[in-house]
């Protein structure tokens, strides 16, 4: 029996075989043939309002479910609009498959209408990409794309398909096995590396578990909890790892980095051994690299060999799945600890004192306006640890990482590496599609919100009832903070005037959402409860907040973590600490 | 800083050179030379890349190269264990009276005269980089009108091939990608 189908049918069958249940996209000329079989497919296609929204939605879906997120767009501008979310997914190691239509193969290279070399454009920002001009190659490329996106260090893969390849006939054959000569990610860590790591940990008097987003990608929170409790070492979770380890746990010092807690930042700085788990020594964590944790030996576990030694030399490199690494490390450590277990009492008394003295905190504004930190803290308290929190980029993002208490992995989504403003609304949409029963809060800034809020229309029309908190300080707040601190309060082009225009409540209403407003501290809980009670429509709450609130602590860009400030021109009182 | 030569087996697929070039460009690695061509296997091309960097940076370059899906195998070609050659075509100013001298200089480095005109001779030479450099220096006295050099190419001594070590029949052998001295496979 012949399996003759069009290339477009082969594409849709392939997506079905790959287990896709939903994709986000917008049709257009070159991808149009694919949209005909999509019309009949069991795959849910969500028609977004901008391709960037499709890309971030795919990311949000992938981040909460751990599955591959799929977005689809046409050639030229449709494809280039996916560039930002693809770059974002690459920076945060998100499994994504992006499908784009391309002009007919005969027209490629002629500057045809809506032609863009999206394979060339996305080469540096994808894990891999394909340009398909032969319909026989479609099924294989899709199978390989899903395999590459979801295995090893996850990442985005783009499949660009020429229109004629979608139109021509082919035999559909879903590949049963994938054999890529140049791709065979190593997941099982070397036993020698595990033994070396265990030996180092058994000697360390000031260890820290430096936990990155890889632990969440590897679904390894259980192993992390076991390892942490076995070692008794302090744990820090990076921006990408919030939720990998419960905030309520006594071993947890919170987030390190530019806006990390004094205890987390200082523990890394003073440590003699960083047990690095799926983290990558990002500049926002290390501060000035040459002054970062100068006395620490480094154990670095990562599935990507290129991360080992990229920024910081690793004394022990564990290449492999970080969950498998921890599973192997635990018995090895137990054996070491039987011989001798270091006493961490003194280490804990030092960092425990810092944790007690410098918790993250904030003041209520003297002018009586609403504190943005308070709003975010209350959303976290009321929605609780089972809700999903999705932030944009800027001050509100940092506050959401500091003041929401995360207890579970995959409950905190943000654009960490790329710092993509406008991430929150579409990513929250994708998250809600992936986990329809979860409460999903986008915690967004007024600047971010104005970049991608059009996807609320998509949410309203497709029964995706997310909740959006606009932390409205009528500014590009983080940029304004830097202007305050480093540019003599010269506020060049950071005032958005968004308490005046647009009217977010009316805008929400116009987009088919419920719009709520809150401008007094006393109303915060009531409005959050009101939003929590609406589950049949998206809700947008415009929280009018204090304009000049700042994110603290702070390590200024390019400076040493030793120079962390807890408030403006206020360093921690090191003299009273013995470190 | 030291000069390192990498032999890289890549899938012979469209865009693979762009992927490698883009990687070097975006990571800020400087290439001294790059030579690419077909191999005994029509599905595989071989790149010989010469880089000037320190040993630690080399590990990083190799690890980054391996992240490219189309890269199949990488091996560092050392001076002792491999043959390295460059090719040169150089057009030298040569009056009638100097032709014999040019030919003599070329011959000293196994160069051959492959073209002549009223005012010039074209010399072809193949050899280790140092010989090619010395030949060029010696030819400078006559005046060099134009020259073109291939990048360095390198092949290991002995009967073992890079493909043998990086591609096995049952899929692929896996070595420790962390080991700086091992041959790199993934």
- Distance between CA atoms of residues A235 and A255, nearest Å: 9
CATH of the domain at A203: 3.40.50.1220
Q: Which residue, among A279, A213, A225, A276, has the nearest Cα to A407 in the 3D structure? A: A225
* Burial (CB count within 10 angstroms: exposed 0-12, middle 13-18, buried 19+), residue A1: exposed
Verify whether the Cβ–Cβ distance B71 to A131 is below 8 Å: no
Q: Are both B134 and B177 inside the same structural domain?
A: no
Q: Are both B15 and B53 inside the same structural domain?
A: yes
Residues of B in contact with A119 (CB under 8 A): 15
Distance to chain B for A310, nearest Cα, Å? 6
What is the per-residue pLDDT across B107-141, written as a single tens digit (0 to 9) for each?
999 999 999 999 999 999 999 999 999 999 999 99
Q: Are both A341 and A452 inside the same structural domain?
A: no
Cα A427–Cα A430–Cα A431 angle in degrees, nearest 5: 85
Q: Is residue A54 part of a domain?
A: yes
User: Chain A residue with minimal CA distance to B24?
Assistant: A124
The verdict on B57 touching A (C-beta cutoff 8 Å) is no
* Burial (CB count within 10 angstroms: exposed 0-12, middle 13-18, buried 19+), residue A570: exposed
Give per-residue burial for B139-166: e unless 16+ CB within 10 Å, then b: beebeeeeeebbbbbbebeeeeebbebb
Give pLDDT, residue A218: 98
User: Does the CA dihedral A445-A446-A451-A457 come out positive or negative?
Assistant: positive
Confirm if A81 and A51 have CB atoms less than 8 A apart. yes
**pLDDT at residue B178 tops 60:** no
Q: Are both A148 and A12 inside the same structural domain?
A: yes
What is the per-residue pLDDT across B8-20, written as a single tens digit (0 to 9) for each?
999 998 899 999 9
Give pLDDT, residue B175: 38
When comparing pLDDT for B174 and A476, which is higher?
A476
Q: What is the DSSP letter of A215?
A: H
Q: Is residue A462 part of a domain?
A: yes
Between the two ends of chain B, the Cα-to-Cα distance in Å is 27
Q: Are both B114 and B130 inside the same structural domain?
A: yes
Q: Is residue A578 part of a domain?
A: no
Verify whether the Cβ–Cβ distance B15 to A308 is below 8 Å: no
User: Chain B residue with minimal CA distance to A149?
Assistant: B69
How many interface pairs between A and B have CB atoms less than 8 angstroms apart? 64
Query: How far does Cα B15 stand from its chain's mean position?
Result: 20
Give pLDDT, residue B1: 81
Per-residue pLDDT 10s for chain A (579 aa) are 567 999 999 999 999 999 999 999 999 999 999 999 999 999 999 999 999 999 999 999 999 999 999 999 999 999 999 999 999 999 999 999 999 999 999 999 999 999 999 999 999 999 999 999 999 999 999 999 999 999 999 999 999 999 999 999 999 999 989 989 899 999 999 999 999 999 999 999 999 999 999 999 999 999 999 999 999 999 999 999 999 999 999 999 999 999 999 999 999 999 999 999 999 999 999 999 999 999 999 999 999 999 999 999 999 999 999 999 999 999 999 999 999 999 999 999 999 999 999 999 999 999 999 999 999 999 999 999 999 999 999 999 999 999 999 999 999 999 999 999 999 999 999 999 999 999 999 999 999 999 999 999 999 999 999 999 999 999 999 999 999 999 999 999 999 999 999 999 999 999 999 999 999 999 999 999 999 999 999 999 999 999 999 999 999 999 999 999 999 989 998 877 655
CA-atom Rg of chain B in angstroms: 19
Verify whether the Cβ–Cβ distance A186 to B177 is below 8 Å: yes
Q: Are both A202 and A122 inside the same structural domain?
A: no
Instruction: Tell me which H or E stretch contains B102.
Output: helix B99-108
The verdict on A319 touching B (C-beta cutoff 8 Å) is yes
Q: Give the residue from B162, B171, B176, B178 with the most A CB atoms within 10 Å of its CB, the best one to mutate.
A: B178
Verify whether the Cβ–Cβ distance B59 to A190 is below 8 Å: no
Per the rule left: phi > 0, alpha: psi between -120 and 50, beta: everything else, A541 is beta
* Burial (CB count within 10 angstroms: exposed 0-12, middle 13-18, buried 19+), residue A24: buried
Q: Are both B77 and B87 inside the same structural domain?
A: no
**pLDDT at residue B177 tops 60:** no
Q: Are both A246 and A331 inside the same structural domain?
A: yes
Question: Which tokens is A434 given?
Answer: 């992936």
Confirm if A276 and A212 have CB atoms less than 8 A apart. yes
Confidence (pTM): 0.95
User: Chain A residue with minimal CA distance to B172?
Assistant: A181
What proportion of chain B, given as a percentage, has pLDDT over 90? 78
Longest dimension (CA), chain B: 64
Verify whether the Cβ–Cβ distance A131 to B14 is below 8 Å: yes
Confirm if B82 and B44 have CB atoms less than 8 A apart. no
Give pLDDT, residue B183: 42
Q: Is residue A146 part of a domain?
A: yes
Q: Are both B138 and B168 inside the same structural domain?
A: no
Q: What is the ipTM of this complex?
A: 0.92
Verify whether the Cβ–Cβ distance A180 to B10 is below 8 Å: no
Q: In the 3-class helix/strand/coil scheme, how is A441-498 assigned residue by residue? A: EEEEEHHHHHHHCCHHHHHHHCCCCCEEEEEECCECHHHHHHHHHHCCCCCCCCECCC
Give pLDDT, residue A574: 83
Q: Are both A325 and A428 inside the same structural domain?
A: no
Q: Is residue A561 part of a domain?
A: no
Instruction: Tell me which H or E stretch contains A208.
Output: strand A207-211
Q: Distances in Å between the alpha carbon of A73 and those of A53, A68, A81, A102?
A: 11, 17, 9, 10
How many independent structural domains does chain B possess?
A: 2
Give pLDDT, residue B54: 80
Residues of A in contact with B18 (CB under 8 A): 120, 123
Verify whether the Cβ–Cβ distance B15 to A304 is below 8 Å: no
User: Chain B residue with minimal CA distance to A189?
Assistant: B176
> Which residue matches tokens 């137990």?
A334
φ, ψ (nearest 5 deg) of residue A249? -75, 140
Q: Give the residue from B17, B177, B184 with the most A CB atoms within 10 Å of its CB, the best one to mutate.
A: B177
Strands A252-254 and A235-237: parallel
Verify whether the Cβ–Cβ distance A124 to B26 is below 8 Å: yes
Distance to chain B for A166, nearest Cα, Å? 20
Distance to chain A for B164, nearest Cα, Å? 13
Distance to chain A for B152, nearest Cα, Å? 24
Q: Which residue, among A478, A412, A430, has the nearest Cα to A239 in the 3D structure? A: A412
Q: Are both B7 and B77 inside the same structural domain?
A: yes
Q: What is the DSSP letter of B178?
A: T
Distance to chain B for A120, nearest Cα, Å? 8
Give pLDDT, residue B182: 38
Instruction: Tell me which H or E stretch contains B50.
Output: strand B44-53
Verify whether the Cβ–Cβ distance A182 to B14 is below 8 Å: no
Distance to chain A for B179, nearest Cα, Å? 10
Q: Are both B101 and B73 inside the same structural domain?
A: no
Distance to chain B for A461, nearest Cα, Å? 40
Domain assignment of residue A238, given as a range: 191-357
The verdict on A182 touching B (C-beta cutoff 8 Å) is yes
Verify whether the Cβ–Cβ distance A123 to B66 is below 8 Å: no
Q: Are both A142 and A208 inside the same structural domain?
A: no
Interface of A with B in 108-147 (CB under 8 A): 119-120, 123-124, 127-128, 131
Q: Are both A353 and A441 inside the same structural domain?
A: no
Residues of A in contact with B72 (CB under 8 A): 181-182
Q: Give the residue from A125, A182, A325 with the most B CB atoms within 10 Å of its CB, the best one to mutate.
A: A182
* Burial (CB count within 10 angstroms: exposed 0-12, middle 13-18, buried 19+), residue A176: exposed
Residues of B in contact with A308 (CB under 8 A): 63, 178
Q: Are both A351 and A431 inside the same structural domain?
A: no
Q: Are both A50 and A150 inside the same structural domain?
A: yes
Query: How far does Cα A352 stand from its chain's mean position?
Result: 29
Q: Is residue A250 part of a domain?
A: yes
Give pLDDT, residue B171: 37
Q: Are both B107 and B42 inside the same structural domain?
A: no
Q: Are both B47 and B76 inside the same structural domain?
A: yes
Q: Are both B70 and B25 inside the same structural domain?
A: yes
Q: Are both A336 and A467 inside the same structural domain?
A: no
Q: Are both A329 and A258 inside the same structural domain?
A: yes
User: Chain B residue with minimal CA distance to A315?
Assistant: B178
Q: Are both B108 and B43 inside the same structural domain?
A: no
Q: What is the mean pLDDT of chain B?
A: 88
Nearest-CB residue to A319 (from B15, B23, B177): B177
CATH of the domain at B10: 3.30.70.260
Distance to chain B for A307, nearest Cα, Å? 8
The verdict on A179 touching B (C-beta cutoff 8 Å) is yes
Residues of A designated as active site: 51, 113-114, 163, 478
Verify whether the Cβ–Cβ distance B69 to A306 is below 8 Å: no
Q: Are both B67 and B112 inside the same structural domain?
A: no
- Distance between CA atoms of residues A349 and A88, nearest Å: 40
Q: Are both A287 and A150 inside the same structural domain?
A: no
Give pLDDT, residue B167: 59
Q: What angle do the packed helices A322-339 and A221-231 form, to 10 degrees?
A: 20
Q: Is residue A153 part of a domain?
A: yes
* Burial (CB count within 10 angstroms: exposed 0-12, middle 13-18, buried 19+), residue B27: middle
Q: Is residue A180 part of a domain?
A: no
Give pLDDT, residue A578: 59
Domain assignment of residue B170, given as a range: 2-81+158-185
Verify whether the Cβ–Cβ distance A185 to B67 is below 8 Å: no
Residues of A in contact with B23 (CB under 8 A): 124
Confirm if A390 and A467 have CB atoms less than 8 A apart. no
What is the per-residue pLDDT across B99-114, written as a single tens digit (0 to 9) for each?
999 999 999 999 999 9
User: Chain B residue with minimal CA distance to A123?
Assistant: B19
CATH of the domain at A103: 3.40.50.970
The verdict on A183 touching B (C-beta cutoff 8 Å) is yes
How many independent structural domains does chain A possess?
A: 3
Residues of A in contact with B64 (CB under 8 A): 306
């Amino acid at each position: 029996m012949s399996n003759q189908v069009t290339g477009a049918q082969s594409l849709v069958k392939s997506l079905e075989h790959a287990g896709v249940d939903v994709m986000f996209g917008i049709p257009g000329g070159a991808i149009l043939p694919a949209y005909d079989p999509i019309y009949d497919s069991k795959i849910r296609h969500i028609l977004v309002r901008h391709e960037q929204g499709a890309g971030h939605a795919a990311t949000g879906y992938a981040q909460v479910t751990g599955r591959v997120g799929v977005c689809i767009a046409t050639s030229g501008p449709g494809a280039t609009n996916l560039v930002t979310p693809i770059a974002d997914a690459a920076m945060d190691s998100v499994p994504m498959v992006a499908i784009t239509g391309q002009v007919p193969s005969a027209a490629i290279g002629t500057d045809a209408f809506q032609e863009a070399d999206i394979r060339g454009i996305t080469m540096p920002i994808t894990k891999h990409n394909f340009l398909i001009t032969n319909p026989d190659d479609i099924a294989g490329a899709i199978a390989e794309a899903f395999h590459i996106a979801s295995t090893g260090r996850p990442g985005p893969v783009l499949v660009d398909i020429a229109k004629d390849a979608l139109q021509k006939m082919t035999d559909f054959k879903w590949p049963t096995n994938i054999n890529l000569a140049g791709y065979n990610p190593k997941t099982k860590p070397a036993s020698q590396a595990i033994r070396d790591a265990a030996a180092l940990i058994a000697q360390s008097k000031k260890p820290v578990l430096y936990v990155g987003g890889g632990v969440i990608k590897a679904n390894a929170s259980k192993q992390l909890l076991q390892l942490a409790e076995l070692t008794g070492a302090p744990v820090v979770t990076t921006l990408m790892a919030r939720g990998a380890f419960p905030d309520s746990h006594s071993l947890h010092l919170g987030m390190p980095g530019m806006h990390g807690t004094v205890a987390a930042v200082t523990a890394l700085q003073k440590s003699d051994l960083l047990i690095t788990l799926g983290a990558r020594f990002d500049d926002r964590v290390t501060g000035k690299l040459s002054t970062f944790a100068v006395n620490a030996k480094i154990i670095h576990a990562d599935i990507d060999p290129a991360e080992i030694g990229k920024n910081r030399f690793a004394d022990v490199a564990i290449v492999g799945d970080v969950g498998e690494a921890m599973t192997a490390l635990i018995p090895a450590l137990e054996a070491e600890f039987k011989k001798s277990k270091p006493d961490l009492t003194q280490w804990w008394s030092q960092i425990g004192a810092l944790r007690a003295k410098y918790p993250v905190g904030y003041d209520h504004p003297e002018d009586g306006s609403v504190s943005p930190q308070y709003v975010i803290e209350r959303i976290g308290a009321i929605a609780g640890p089972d809700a999903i929190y999705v932030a944009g980029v800027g001050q509100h993002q940092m506050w959401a990482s500091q003041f929401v208490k995360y207890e579970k992995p995959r409950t905190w989504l943000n654009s960490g590496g790329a710092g993509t403003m406008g991430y929150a609304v579409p990513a929250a949409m994708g998250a809600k599609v992936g986990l329809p029963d979860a409460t999903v809060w986008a915690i967004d800034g007024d600047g971010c919100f104005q970049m991608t809020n059009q996807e609320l229309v998509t949410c309203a029309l497709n029964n995706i009832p997310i909740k959006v908190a606009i932390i409205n300080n009528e500014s590009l707040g983080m940029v304004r903070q830097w202007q305050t601190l480093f540019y003599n309060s010269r506020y060049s082009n950071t005032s958005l005037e968004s308490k005046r225009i647009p009217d977010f409540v009316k805008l929400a209403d116009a987009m088919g959402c419920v719009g709520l407003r809150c401008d007094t501290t006393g109303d915060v809980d009531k409005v959050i409860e009101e939003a929590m009670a609406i589950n049949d429509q998206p809700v947008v709450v415009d929280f009018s907040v204090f304009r000049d609130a700042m994110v603290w602590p702070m390590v200024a860009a390019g400076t040493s973590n030793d120079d962390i400030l807890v408030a403006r021109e206020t360093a921690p009182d090191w003299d009273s600490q013995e470190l | 800083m030291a000069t390192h030569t990498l032999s890289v087996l890549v899938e012979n697929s469209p865009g693979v050179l762009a992927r490698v070039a883009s990687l070097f460009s975006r990571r800020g690695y400087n290439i001294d030379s790059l030579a690419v061509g077909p191999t005994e296997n029509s599905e595989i091309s071989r790149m010989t890349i010469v880089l000037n960097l320190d040993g630690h940076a080399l590990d990083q370059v190799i690890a980054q190269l391996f992240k490219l899906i189309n890269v199949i195998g990488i091996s560092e070609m050392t001076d002792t264990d491999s043959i390295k050659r460059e090719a040169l075509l150089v057009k030298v100013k040569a009056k009638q009276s100097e032709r014999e001298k040019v030919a003599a200089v070329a011959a000293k480095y196994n160069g051959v005269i492959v073209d002549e005109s009223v005012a010039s001779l074209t010399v072809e030479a193949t050899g280790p980089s140092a010989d090619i450099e010395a030949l060029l220096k010696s030819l400078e006295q006559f005046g060099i009108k134009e020259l073109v050099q291939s990048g360095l190419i390198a092949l290991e001594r002995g009967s073992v091939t890079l493909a043998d070590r990086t591609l096995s029949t049952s899929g692929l052998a896996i070595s420790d990608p962390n080991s700086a001295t091992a041959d790199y496979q993934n």
